[in-house]
Amino acid sequence: MGSGRAINFQPIQNPDFLRQRASWIRNTLDPMVAREGPHAIGCDVLLELDELLRRLLDSKVSIEDIRYSRIHLAIQDIAGKATRWPCKVIERCDELLDMWDNDYGDFNGEALRTLLYEPGGRFHGIARPEDFTDTKLLTRWLQTPSVVLDPDRAKMTGDLGFAAGDWWINTMFAFRDGIIDSGDSRPGTVADSDGVYALLLVDDVEIWGPSFDTFTYRPVTNNHGVLKLIAGTEESRRPVRVLRSHGVRSFWAPRAGVRYDGLHKVSGWRIYQKQGAGRMICEITFKRLPCSTTADSILSRPFAEEIEDYKEYKKMRREAREKPSMHRAFRDMLDLDGTRARRGSMRV
């Protein structure tokens, strides 16, 4: 179906405009074409896309702007999925890729590597390539006057200004922004003696989820934070922020990183003793509260460019650990028996 929007005639040399257009192609049009086929694109959208491609063919876009905007990846996505897209669009994309290949050479080279720490990258001004451990990241932030790490902020009720669908590469960056009180990547709760404020779902703590709006949570331990959720008090009825890690065994898990899935409230629970188990098992059912962000919009995160950032970050961390000069710092993270040292947690 058409979008009904007017064709956007912003300057083609504007890298931010190209970045927005690349995201539009990759995160809006391509999923729609994948679901519904080439005829899903209405005439007005097709004209807008064709006009964009024609202007790119008629312009000399610098390799720096191509890298920053990732427009080449959007064009490659169309050309590489030729059976999905209308033939005319594919032909223009092939022509454009040939032109850029002649101008700049191999698109898989270092010149077009994903920006992370450079200007325009996700971590510019936030971290440096050598900050490949959580300890190094935390040390840098504590030494940066503009960064305020406040674990107590996460121990407040509500969304704290975050929107459902907000996404981070890992829990450390979610902690930096203040939605949780620790960078610990293990499943747990953000809680204090007054109640529970957030859940981080990892591994197998989400045991049942018939829809995105409802799931059942089985905590790792029955700590006092969990008991607050089932106390039947006014505090236990307060909404809780729910974050899903890509490591949670759930149909609703993000493909990478950590995603905030909105405010939820307890809708029921049960406590039982599993046969042969020495402790009581607690299972708590949550229901997502309505918000202005649709479920489809939340589940669309992470976007294509966010997944690229995640992969590049993991790759650079691996490369840093493999450098001889980094070996000592990496070994400091390990116990004498070769297992990763257990990190302290501010979560209860």
Residue ranges of domains in the chain, CATH in brackets: 15-112 (1.20.930), 150-299 (2.30.280.10)
pLDDT number for residue 259: 99
pLDDT number for residue 342: 36
pLDDT number for residue 330: 45
pLDDT number for residue 343: 37
pLDDT number for residue 306: 98
Whole-angstrom distance, CA of residue 122 vs CA of residue 139: 19
pLDDT number for residue 65: 95
pLDDT number for residue 325: 54
Which residues of the chain are under the pLDDT cut of 50? 1-5, 326-327, 329-331, 333-348
Question: Which tens digits make up the pLDDT trace of 314-325?
Answer: 998 888 877 755
